[in-house]
Amino acid sequence: MSNKIKFHNFTLLINEKKIITKSNKEIKLNSVERNILSLLIQNPTVIFTKEEIHNHSWCKEIKCHSSVVPQAISLLRKKLSMHGLEPIETVKGKGYKAAHLVQDQSMGMYSALVLFLSIISILILEYPVSNLGNEKLTSFKFKKINNNIVTTSASNKFDTSKLKLEDNVKYFINNQNNFISISACKLKNNICTNVYNAIYFKKESTPIKMADLISNVKFDDDMDLLLVKKDKLTSLSAEIQLRSLNNKKYNGELFINFDLEKTNNNAYFSKKTTYIKESGYSGGFGYASVNKITPIKNKNHHKYLIKKIDDDNLLSLRFQFGMVKNSKMTYAYNLLSGPREKQSYSYSYPISKNISYYFNDEMNISYIAYKHT
């Protein structure tokens, strides 16, 4: 089989796992995406079922259901559509096939119009996006509600009037439209000895009973915070419970790890892994990325610019060790399956040595994490 397959307005390089567009743009693919695309475009008149695509595109060692096929194709379409490529057609009730390249007399004018609008969109949207990070950077604040509660300027309002708080516990609350996060630290002599993180998914209109959420804060007495001993390779870790205000049967766990390596006085390289288990997913799934983290000096709190620098140019490399079994109970999966930004800002609120509360503006997620060797 030839390594090079030409199809309409791009060329697929099988061995290199990449696409070269007519304008000489390079698009990296993972193995599954390469396999799906090569199957369809080499058989342009054939309609393939989910099962046929699954059997061809996934290694036999990876046990997963054919339900992963639509998800994989959706992500592949998003990646290619950014470059004006639409090579996959859905045949309702049957499966998928290679799409026809439609050409007519108006195509030249249409393409010119699309190009013009695209350029205008970039000029209008991309410049403000770059400034949006700066705007968030200067306007973001951690807000102290009282001696026990800290929130963020990005949080929606919430009622704290009837809360029963532990004197030796500091609470961190971040209320967003589709979730509310509750984090807490148990303090002993102003040192954080135990950590709690929870995210409650919700609808924007869902009433929040803050007293119930605060009463759910429980600390693991067996937790041993292994802190940094040497200024070499360190990790930043967080464990977050997942719950839903609209579905009491739902539960899950989210694990976040950054392996940090200091490159100089001003930057770090980081390998980030995220792993999730939840009720609607049989097994678990995760994401991996390589980032450059640059600290930004500020007198009020620590700020970090996080830039994804993956060699394979994937914004988020997803690993699946299972399958979706109930899409109504995959809140984290649905939230994290969307497109990801190439850069984001994180803000940290120091609690005690090597332990901080972090807020990231990519999805407005927040949690307490600690550094350890």
The pLDDT mean for the chain works out to 79
Tokens representing 16 are: 């290199």
* Highest-scoring range by mean pLDDT, 149-158, 252-261, 293-302: 149-158
In which band, very low, low, confident or very high, does the pLDDT at 156 lie, cut at 50, 70 and 90? very high
Strands 169-175 and 149-152: parallel
Asked whether 299 and 272 are in contact (CB, 8 A), the reply is no
Asked whether 37 and 29 are in contact (CB, 8 A), the reply is yes
In which band, very low, low, confident or very high, does the pLDDT at 299 lie, cut at 50, 70 and 90? low
pLDDT at 170 over 90: yes
Express each pLDDT in 203-233 by its tens digit: 888 999 999 999 999 998 766 665 555 555 5
Asked whether 9 and 21 are in contact (CB, 8 A), the reply is yes
Express each pLDDT in 185-205 by its tens digit: 999 888 888 999 999 999 888
The CATH number of 4-98, from 3.30.70.360, 3.30.479.10, 1.20.120.140, 1.10.10.10, is: 1.10.10.10
Express each pLDDT in 85-103 by its tens digit: 888 888 888 899 988 654 4
Express each pLDDT in 101-138 by its tens digit: 544 333 333 333 333 333 223 232 333 333 333 434 44
Domain boundaries, the chain: 4-98, 132-372
Q: Which amino acid is at 57?
A: S
Express each pLDDT in 321-365 by its tens digit: 888 889 889 888 887 766 666 778 888 888 988 889 999 887 889
Kindly report the CA angle at 299 between 296 and 302, in degrees rounded to 5? Answer: 45
Cα 291 to the center of its chain, rounded Å: 13
Query: How many CA within 13 A on the CB side of residue 145?
Result: 19
Average pLDDT over residues 286-297: 80
pLDDT at 24 over 90: no
pLDDT attached to residue 235: 82
User: CA-CA distance, 96 to 48, in Å (whole number)?
Assistant: 5
pLDDT at 167 over 70: yes
Average pLDDT over residues 308-321: 61
Asked whether 112 and 65 are in contact (CB, 8 A), the reply is no
In which band, very low, low, confident or very high, does the pLDDT at 50 lie, cut at 50, 70 and 90? confident
What DSSP character marks residue 122? H
Express each pLDDT in 244-282 by its tens digit: 999 999 999 999 988 877 776 677 777 888 899 999 998
pLDDT at 298 over 70: no
Tokens representing 154 are: 């990005």
pLDDT attached to residue 216: 94
pLDDT attached to residue 107: 36
* Partners of 343 in beta bridges: 307
Q: Give whole-number Cα distances, 93 to 68, 71, 86, 192, 198, in Å.
A: 17, 16, 20, 56, 40
CB count within 10 Å of CB 40 equals: 24
